[in-house]
A = this chain, B = another copy of it.
Amino acid sequence: MIENTSKPVILVTNDDGVTAKGIKSLVEALRGLGEIVVVAPDGPRSGQSGAITPNLPLRLKKVTAKEELTVYACNGTPVDCVKLALNQLLDRKPDLIVSGINHGSNSAISILYSGTMGAVLEGCVVNVPSVGFSLCSFDQDADFASSAHYVRTIASDVLENGLSEGVCLNVNIPATEEIRGIKVCRQTNGYWAEEYEKRIDPIGKEYFWLTGYFHNLEPEATDTDEWALREGYVSIVPCKVDMTAHHLISQYAYLETL
């Protein structure tokens, strides 16, 4: 259990694992803003979305205990990390949950697959201001230097002003040294195409590797996160956990007569 503190409590997680360069860069960018508690997967959990672990026992291992920084590794998913931290480690709700910095973009519909954003959505469900940060580079040794300013600025603002109930932020950062600023956007409509490479194993059996590319269905739009990133801006999409298509409830009311 983290001791009671008058400082803001910041819970940090990710999906690339507790030793990833991205989460270390995130912690460094946040240093001094409060008591930082890292609870992150003990290895890579990319693409884990909002997955939870109902069928295996979960473990927490304390790996660092410094002033204002405690780090735990967990054998679960990013969402497990958030749930366990809130339920078993922290004696009060944290003031902020941050996830990342992800090695790779989580713009557009990638929010549906992202473990980074799974953790953020979980924070949102329990009404803690939550922000996911992703750098648009899958390089494990990516340069997070130009991200630091934006991470600290956005996190500080959310710590100070909070977020509306039911809303969290999906922040993506272009992998360029010359970032032009911030754009608040909507999620781009699109899908992943040509997604598998078929190969044959040494005993003649087929197997498939996930691959493919994002197909943007609205490349001309200038209010989307894909557009902002392409233009060299940090994109911020305010996201919500209510997935209801409210505008269509009346349209589908006829199903009640079936």
Interface positions of A (Cβ within 8 A of B): 44, 46-55, 57-60, 79-80, 83-84, 87-88, 109, 111-113, 115, 118, 121-122, 125-127, 153-154, 157, 164, 166-167, 169, 181-187, 189, 191-192, 194-196, 198-199, 201, 205-210, 236-246, 248-249, 251-253, 255-256, 258
Contacts and interface: CB of A to CB of B under 8 A. Distances in A.
A244 B248 CA distance: 16
B243 A249 contact: no
Given A49-B52, A153-B258, A209-B57, A244 B186 contact: yes
A53 B245 contact: no
Which of A53, A55, A112, A121 gathers most chain B CB within 10 Å? Answer: A112
Contacts of A195: 83, 87
A44 B56 CA distance: 12
Given A59-B207, A169-B252, 12 more contacts: A49-B49, A57-B207, A84-B208, A88-B196, A112-B118, A112-B243, A126-B191, A164-B248, A181-B256, A238-B251, A240-B243, A243-B243
Nearest to A250: B184
B242 A238 contact: no
